[in-house]
């Protein structure tokens, strides 16, 4: 991120040469890694359920926004070259001018304080820096739960997502703010299946922006074990609900 900040500042200077009443630049880098296992086997790529996209992604881009003659224009690019940035700025400027000509009431920015600051979430271990081996071992600890004897069979999917987002935001008014936030999410999806077509499923997301150390401090293993037992009871012991209009009280897993 640091090596691209000069391009963001260059973009702001180019905007200011067009004399907008307001302009801002947002530079963002988003890194995301996904490790998935289906029934104990590692899976690369999209899952059969709508949980993740690509396994490993790196997205980098720059957003330009301007107010010209009371109209707003905005455009983005992931081609971080001066030539590409100039093209985006020209497009933003033209869009803002057209918008200003069409508006009955011009846009105006309120007066705000100017800040030069940085912020980040509090953590000890950045999830994106945890080795692939350690992330795999974290998931594998859940596999023995299905070795216990149950009256039903299970299909299980475990997804571990580690992410880091870095931002650099600056305005024509003088504000400059850098941001850094890692995220980690663990998603177990378990389907209980019984012969005859009866099945139920559970899914829960354990997520935090406080680091890998926060995720591993939770007693997720025992919670998933308990969910498996409940799922087995639901499939084998659940009774058909009464027909007609009835009152229901829903628990948090349903509601």
For residue range 40-91, list pLDDT tens digits in order.
999 876 665 555 556 788 999 999 999 999 999 999 999 999 999 999 999 9
Q: What is the pLDDT of residue 64?
A: 98
The pLDDT of residue 46 is 62
Decide if 187 contacts 205 (C-beta within 8 A).
yes
So what's the pLDDT on residue 6? 95
Pairing state of beta strands 176-194 and 116-120?
parallel
169 near 26, Cβ under 8 Å? yes
How far is C-alpha 84 from the chain's CA centre? 27
**DSSP three-state, residue 60:** strand
Q: Are 54 and 45 in contact (CB under 8 A)?
A: yes
2-237: which CATH topology? PmbA/TldD fold (3.30.2290)
| Per-residue pLDDT band at 124 (split at 50, 70, 90) | very high
Reported pTM = 0.83
Looking at residue 50, its pLDDT comes to: 58
Q: Which residue has the tokens 């391009």?
A: 7
Q: What share of the chain is helix, strand, coil (3-state, %, to 5)?
A: 30, 35, 35
Pairing assessment for the beta strands 22-38 and 206-208 based on DSSP bridges: unpaired
- Which pair of tokens denotes residue 196? 């005859």
The pLDDT assigned to 249 comes to: 85
For residue 248, what pLDDT is reported?
Answer: 84
**Per-residue model confidence (pLDDT) at position 43:** 83
Q: H/E element holding 84?
A: helix 82-102
Assign residue 188 a region: left if phi > 0, alpha if psi is -120 to 50, beta otherwise? beta
| Predicted local distance difference test score (pLDDT) of residue 239 | 82
Of 61, 190, 179, the closest CA to residue 119 belongs to 179
**DSSP class of 152:** S
Distance CA 173, CA 63 (A): 17
């Amino acid at each position: 991120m640091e090596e691209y900040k000069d391009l963001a500042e260059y973009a702001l200077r180019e905007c200011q040469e067009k004399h907008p009443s307001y302009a801002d630049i947002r530079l963002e880098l988003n890194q995301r890694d996904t490790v998935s296992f289906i029934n104990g086997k590692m899976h690369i790529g999209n899952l059969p359920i709508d949980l993740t996209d690509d396994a490993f992604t790196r997205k980098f881009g720059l957003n330009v926004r301007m107010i010209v003659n009371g109209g707003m224009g905005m455009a983005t690019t992931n081609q971080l070259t001066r030539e590409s940035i100039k093209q985006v700025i020209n497009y933003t400027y033209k869009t803002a001018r057209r918008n200003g000509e069409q508006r009955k009431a011009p846009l105006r920015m309120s007066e705000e304080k100017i800040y030069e600051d940085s912020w980040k979430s509090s953590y000890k271990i950045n999830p994106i820096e945890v080795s692939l081996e350690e992330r795999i071992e974290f998931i594998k600890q859940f596999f023995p739960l299905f070795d216990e004897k149950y009256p039903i069979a299970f299909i299980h999917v475990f997804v571990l997502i580690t992410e880091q987002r870095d931002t650099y935001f600056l305005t024509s008014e003088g504000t400059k703010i850098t941001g850094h936030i890692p995220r980690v999410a663990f998603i177990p999806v378990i389907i209980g299946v019984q012969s005859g077509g009866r099945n139920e499923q559970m899914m829960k997301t354990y997520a935090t922006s406080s680091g890998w150390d926060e995720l591993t401090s939770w007693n997720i293993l025992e919670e998933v074990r308990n969910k498996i037992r409940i799922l087995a009871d639901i499939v084998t012991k659940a009774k058909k609900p009464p027909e007609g209009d009835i009152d229901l009280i829903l628990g948090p897993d349903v509601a």
